[in-house]
Amino acid sequence: MKIILLGPQGSGKGTQASRLAEKNGAKHISTGDIVRAEIKSGSDLGKKVQEYNDRGDLVPDETIIEMFKPHLDGADAWILDGFPRNESQAKALDEALDELGITLDKAVALEAPDDDLVARLSGRRQSEATGKIYHVEHDPPPENSSDDPGPFIQRDDDTEEAIRNRLNIYHEQTEPLKDYYERQNLLATVDAMQEIDAVTKDVLGAVGER
């Protein structure tokens, strides 16, 4: 299984990638994790990425692909989470996969209405004591707990305004990738507002696994 997970923030890409990796041994390749690990390693590539970050510049597609290549080539099965984010990145990834002789099996888009995603994300609260994330409705912060005394705050990026701004960016830049992969007969869509187990089952079904 070699798949890309697409979807807006709050659709559960990270959760599903981790569950799928656990079920079938596929490698979960997270853009953020790879970038952080490369910077921490102090490699030449990591230093280059840090320089872009320090300047506030976007890391070029070819640099990200260079970081990904060993991970893509070194695993029999993988789930790519957080990349590509636009068509130029998708084309760069296609070229890299061609060079490596790797065939992409599926691009799975996790779909959910914006209003539901806003409700899901704006309800999050983070403990300043432990860093744990709670949800005011589905997993409320504990009261008077010695294990996690809080305080429990709403992060700046979890306000409705910030969430809707990120969703707009997703719709403008990343959502068109559904058409890109549809043209290659690689697209599958899954309702991300189902129970977590049901989403996992549908993703596995979409890629021909159970």
Residues taking part in catalysis: 13, 85, 124, 155, 166
Helix, strand, coil shares of the chain, percent, nearest 5, are 50, 15, 35
Sequence length of the chain is: 210
Angle, vertex CA 163, rays to CA 160 and CA 167, nearest 5 = 135
Q: Who's near 19: CB < 8 A, 6+ residues apart?
A: 196, 200
CA–CA separation, 199 and 180 (whole Å): 23
Q: Give the chain's end-to-end CA distance (angstroms, integer).
A: 12
Torsion of CA 36, 38, 42, 46, to 10 degrees: -100
